[in-house]
């Protein structure tokens, strides 16, 4: 089921204040609740490692597990049917309805049924389908797709829902959740009692014992499964785990990580047809690309997904578009991968294009799926690529072409000063020996050469002999936009150049993170590459700064730095600066919406993502905003200026030189080497 969105449609979601407000309310509540709920489980890293092992172990033996389940169900009079694809699953369920004279099917929430377009398939053939989850019922009546894996109607406010049910019931319904729920419950009760067939999805299946576990907050799933005479369970092939213990651990983590609940209201466990009256039980197990994905070295990771939806709650793009802005039933970063598995790469590419690559999804995934990497994999495999994007990335990746573009910008007055490495070469400073390596990075070297010079002089003042090389691009644009062969080419080149056992220091966190990515692929071949940020290095060297006068400062932690938990050391460094009052705010770790080329391709989305950070800055009115990524610096400075917010924005190096006091700084005569 595909919903390709045009730029105008995307813009309409961004301009819909009701959607934005509904998402703000819900996502902030879920994120805060998640942290509190997870605290009871101890170390989240330990939890996700255990849950990853549970899923991996089960996937390796999935066919054997399902064989056991089939035999057990058969011995108890139930039926298990495997469906190869969406059409097969739809047809099987319709045949069950036809066999048992089901003309009304009541349904519990099932994202898998949305994947196969079941409702439309059945209704075209005369079977009425009634969604009984309140959120699903809302989107069904709005004739929309679900907007979240857990909270399907998250994008609607209570006021909108009240208007919807006022039209449906033909009477005035107030925007009171209690009144709305009570009215809908009475309407659905009649459906439960009159339907011959009931269907649900399932959260997890255990092999030993053979059991199906369903978690709900409304009890509707239990009614769908027990009141009608025919029970249908639709489940993805990947939902199997080995044991009762594994299933219960998954159910313990899922509500905490998804919406911050300690427990769901109802957990139902089904093992066989009920015996107190004549009943039939069918289990439809959907493949639809899952078995093929298991053989894929990259996409197999996605099969661990437990559908908690936490990645959507922190996704900056999802937070401004809602699930309605994505072109497939699966949304967000994980949605790009699941679209690739179930609907093909060309459709997945449309979802992947919206990703900023911030990596927030990776941080909250309870089964350690490297979501942002899989999005890059989708982009790299797609055949129908964005031509303009490919051209732009090609310009950025080639040092000589990027230099030409930057030179045009300098002639126009956008950037000032000779490129740093060009100047350094002219000064005879390029050399491959020294105490530390200094990697400047394309954007910093070409567009902010004075910042690079300050960092270089700081290291010299610290007494370090600095090795400088003629650089290649770090390769991040290649990784972000699916040019994997170019990413690996640049990676091997850079690692070869810096494999000398010395620390390689960075003032661009994007470049730093890319070198860390290289090492995750090639660590065995290049063990002598030691990347570190300049500020982590200064912290370890014991360099102490203070400000000339007390200042109130906000910091933006670049997404790529957070991916390697470098934000923790950066925060320690900033907090060590005397006279600096750091404004603590959750938006400090939110994506700024810049994301390199993203702000040029999707300027409206980029602007909308920054709105949250802009509101925080306007509220706290710091004297300065600091960051350590040139792309983030550009975004923050431009977006604040566009909104008329008069706050100074600095790269941390520039901030220290302008406002800092330190013996090292006192020894630097920057004016002697400053280029005009």
Q: Could you tell me the pLDDT band of residue 5, with boundaries at 50, 70 and 90?
A: low
* pLDDT above 50 for 2: no
* pLDDT above 90 for 398: no
Tokens of 78: 């139930």
Handedness of CA 131, 133, 136, 138 (dihedral sign): positive
Using CA atoms, how far residue 313 sits from 25, 258, 259, 309, in Å, is 11, 8, 9, 7
Is pTM beyond 0.85? Reply is yes
Tokens of 147: 């907007």
Specify the pLDDT at position 125. 97
Specify the pLDDT at position 314. 92
Q: Which residues of 350-407 form beta strands (DSSP E)?
A: none
Handedness of CA 548, 550, 552, 554 (dihedral sign): positive
Taking the C-alpha atoms of residue 587 and residue 556, their distance in angstroms, rounded to an integer, is: 8
Specify the pLDDT at position 411. 47
The three-class DSSP label of residue 43 is coil
Residue 390 DSSP code? H
Taking the C-alpha atoms of residue 497 and residue 101, their distance in angstroms, rounded to an integer, is: 72
The single residue listed with the structure tokens 């909108």 is 160
State residue 218 phi and psi, 5-degree precision.
Answer: -110, -10
C-alpha closest to that of 532 among 560, 556, 566: 566
Specify the pLDDT at position 399. 64
User: pLDDT by residue (tens digit) across 153-165?
Assistant: 988 889 999 999 9
Cα 632 to chain center, whole Å?
18
Taking the C-alpha atoms of residue 31 and residue 311, their distance in angstroms, rounded to an integer, is: 10
Specify the pLDDT at position 206. 98
Domains (ranges, CATH) in the chain?
7-291 (3.40.50.10420), 390-531 (no CATH), 539-666 (3.40.50)
Cβ neighbours of 330 (radius 10 Å) = 27
**Bigger pLDDT: 406 or 277?**
277
User: pLDDT by residue (tens digit) across 57-70?
Assistant: 999 999 999 999 99
Top-ranked range on mean pLDDT: pick from 94-98, 221-225, 353-357, 415-419: 94-98
User: pLDDT by residue (tens digit) across 608-617?
Assistant: 999 999 999 9
User: pLDDT by residue (tens digit) across 330-349?
Assistant: 998 999 999 999 999 989 99
Taking the C-alpha atoms of residue 53 and residue 59, their distance in angstroms, rounded to an integer, is: 10
Cβ neighbours of 427 (radius 10 Å) = 10
């Amino acid at each position: 089921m595909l919903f390709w969105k045009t730029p105008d449609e995307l813009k309409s979601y961004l301009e819909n204040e009701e959607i934005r407000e509904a998402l703000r309310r819900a996502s902030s509540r879920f994120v805060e609740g998640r942290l509190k709920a997870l605290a009871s489980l101890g170390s989240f890293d330990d939890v996700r490692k255990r849950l990853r092992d549970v899923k991996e172990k089960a996937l390796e033996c999935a066919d054997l597990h399902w064989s056991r389940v089939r035999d057990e169900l058969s011995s108890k009079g139930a039926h298990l049917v495997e469906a190869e694809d969406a059409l097969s699953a739809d047809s099987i369920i319709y045949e069950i309805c036809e066999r048992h004279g089901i003309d009304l099917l009541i349904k519990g929430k099932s994202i898998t049924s949305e994947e196969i377009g079941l409702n439309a398939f059945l209704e075209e053939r005369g079977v009425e389908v009634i969604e009984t989850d309140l959120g699903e019922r809302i989107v069904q009546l709005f004739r929309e797709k679900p907007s979240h894996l857990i909270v399907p109607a998250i994008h609607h406010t209570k006021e909108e829902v009240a208007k919807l049910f006022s039209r449906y019931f033909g009477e005035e319904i107030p925007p009171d959740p209690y009144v709305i729920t009570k009215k809908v419950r009475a309407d659905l009760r009649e459906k439960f009692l009159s339907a011959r067939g009931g269907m649900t999805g399932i959260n997890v299946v255990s092999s030993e014992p053979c059991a199906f576990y369903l978690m709900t907050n409304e009890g509707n799933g239990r009614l769908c499964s027990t009141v009608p005479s025919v029970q249908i369970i639709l489940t993805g092939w990947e939902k199997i785990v080995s044991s009762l213990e594994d299933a219960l651990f998954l159910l313990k983590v899922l509500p905490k990580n998804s919406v911050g609940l300690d427990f769901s209201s109802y957990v139902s466990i089904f093992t066989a047809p009920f015996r107190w009256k004549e009943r039939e039980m069918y289990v439809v197990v959907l493949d639809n690309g899952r078995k093929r994905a298991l053989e894929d070295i990259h996409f197999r990771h996605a099969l661990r997904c437990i559908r908690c939806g936490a990645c959507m709650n922190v996704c900056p793009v999802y937070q401004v578009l809602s699930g309605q802005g994505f072109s497939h039933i699966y949304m967000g970063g994980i949605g790009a991968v699941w679209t690739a598995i179930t609907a093909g790469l060309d459709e997945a590419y449309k979802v992947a294009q919206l990703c900023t690559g911030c990596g927030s999804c990776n941080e909250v995934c309870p089964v350690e799926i490297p979501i942002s990497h899989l999005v890059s994999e989708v982009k790299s495999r797609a055949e129908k690529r964005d031509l303009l994007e490919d051209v732009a990335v090609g310009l950025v990746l080639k040092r000589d072409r990027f230099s030409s573009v930057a030179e045009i910008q300098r002639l126009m007055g956008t950037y000032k000063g000779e490129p740093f490495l060009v100047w350094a070469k002219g000064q005879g400073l390029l050399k491959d020996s020294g105490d530390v390596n200094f990697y400047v990075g394309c954007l910093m070297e070409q567009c902010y050469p004075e910042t690079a010079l300050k960092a270089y002089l700081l290291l010299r003042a610290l007494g370090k002999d600095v090795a400088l090389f003629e650089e290649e691009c770090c390769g991040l644009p290649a990784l972000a936009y699916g040019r994997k062969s170019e990413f690996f080419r640049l990676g091997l080149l850079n690692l070869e150049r810096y494999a000398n056992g010395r620390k390689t220091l960075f003032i661009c966190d994007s470049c730093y993170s890319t070198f860390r990515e290289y090492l995750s692929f090639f660590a065995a071949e290049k063990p002598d590459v030691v990347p570190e940020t300049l500020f982590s290095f200064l912290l370890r060297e014991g360099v102490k700064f203070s400000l000339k006068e007390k200042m109130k400062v906000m910091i933006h932690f670049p997404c790529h730095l957070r991916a390697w938990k470098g934000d923790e050391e950066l925060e320690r460094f900033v907090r060590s600066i005397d006279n600096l009052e750091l404004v603590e705010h959750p938006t400090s770790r939110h994506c700024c919406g810049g994301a390199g080329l993203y702000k040029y391709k999707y300027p409206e989305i980029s602007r909308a993502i920054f709105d949250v950070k802009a509101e925080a800055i306007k509220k706290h009115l710091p004297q300065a905003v600091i960051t350590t990524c040139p792309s983030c610096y550009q975004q923050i400075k431009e977006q604040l200026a566009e909104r008329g917010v008069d706050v100074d924005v600095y790269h941390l190096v520039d901030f220290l030189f302008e406002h800092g006091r330190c013996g090292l700084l006192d020894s630097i005569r920057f004016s002697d080497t400053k280029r005009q």
